[in-house]
Amino acid sequence: MLLKRIHSSFLAILLVPSFAVMADEIPEAVSTAAQKLGLTEESISVTPLNSLYELRAGTQLYYLSEDGRYLISGNIIELDSRQNLTRNRLKEIRTEVVAGLKGDQMVAFPAKEPNHTITVFTDIDCGYCRKLHSEMAAYNDLGISVNYLFYPRTGLDSTAYKKAVSVWCDKNRQDAMTRAKAGETLPELDCTNPVASHFMLGNELGISGTPAIITEQGDLMPGYLPPQDMKRQLDQYRAPVEDKI
């Protein structure tokens, strides 16, 4: 599974760590092990631990021993501060990935006076996704802008996928999204679209259900929240507190 993910061309776009080390600073054993896994030296970063290096495969993190013999999957916890350093890095990665998306790659419902922006992986037929969308005006009124990415839970050869494509290919995507979420059957349309890329990105971000919400700070919020609860949660996430155990 790891090798399959590493070798996908989609992941190659995302292999850009925040704190990469210079090539001459990477132990040869680490570089060799990374190459065997299909990763370049640009995917290697230092960690606060001596003799342990971070490997980033898309939006997944692994750790490699200095001798290149051991690959570790798990969380690094700094006991003095009780910070989960791995979760903090994953938040950074999600932030980078979402920030790299252009506005024309999403279906946007902006607030007139935005205070928060959430990126939501959505499925047209998901019940709680429909409930969230039915309250869009309330989210927007609270200063919450919503950017949609498609995540057809039943896969890329499904009715949900075709509905997502039809929404994207409509001349008025916002209106088409609203009508589809209300249960209206849209004309089946086809065009160049990012639905498959959205779905693949969701998989790499660890999305397993919808709605899945990513905040501007890189937090992953699984599931629906009513507008007022969403605002309270987003206000809390904005507070400059590191993720701790």
Structure tokens given for 43: 């995917």
Given a cut of 90, is residue 244 above it in pLDDT?
Answer: no
Structure tokens given for 88: 């903090």
| DSSP-derived 3-state class of residue 127 | helix
Give the model confidence (pLDDT) of 91-115 as tens digits.
999 999 888 898 899 999 999 999 9
Given a cut of 50, is residue 3 above it in pLDDT?
Answer: no
Strands, E assignment, the chain: 44-46, 52-57, 60-65, 71-72, 77-78, 83-84, 107-109, 116-122, 144-150, 212-214, 220-222
What does R_g of the chain's alpha carbons equal in angstroms? 20
pLDDT band at 230 (very low <50, low <70, confident <90, very high): very high
Which of 48-57, 145-154, 179-188 bottoms out in mean pLDDT, i.e. has the lowest?
48-57
Superfamily of domain 101-238: Glutaredoxin (3.40.30.10)
Between 59 and 130, the more confident residue is 130
Third-level CATH fold of 2-74: Nuclear Transport Factor 2; Chain: A, (3.10.450)
Which residue in the block uniquely carries the two structure tokens 């599974």?
1
Tell me the β-bridge partners of 220: 214
CA 237, 208, 94: angle at the middle one, nearest 5? Answer: 40
In single-letter form, the type of residue at position 111 comes to A
Alpha helices in 19-103 (DSSP H): 28-36, 85-99
- The structural domains of the chain, with segments of one domain joined by +, span 2-74, 101-238
Given a cut of 90, is residue 162 above it in pLDDT?
Answer: yes
pLDDT of residue 40: 84
Given a cut of 60, is residue 24 above it in pLDDT?
Answer: no
Give the model confidence (pLDDT) of 172-190 as tens digits.
999 999 999 999 999 999 9
- Interatomic CA distance for residues 59 and 243, integer angstroms: 18
For 125-153, b where at least 16 C-beta lie within 10 A, e where not — what string?
bbeebbebbeebeebbebebbbbbbbbbb
pLDDT of residue 25: 77
Cα–Cα separations (whole angstroms), residue 240 to 200, 226, 229, 236:
31, 24, 19, 9
pLDDT band at 67 (very low <50, low <70, confident <90, very high): very high
- Interatomic CA distance for residues 238 and 95, integer angstroms: 13
Tell me the β-bridge partners of 78: 83
Give the global pTM. Answer: 0.80
In single-letter form, the type of residue at position 201 comes to L
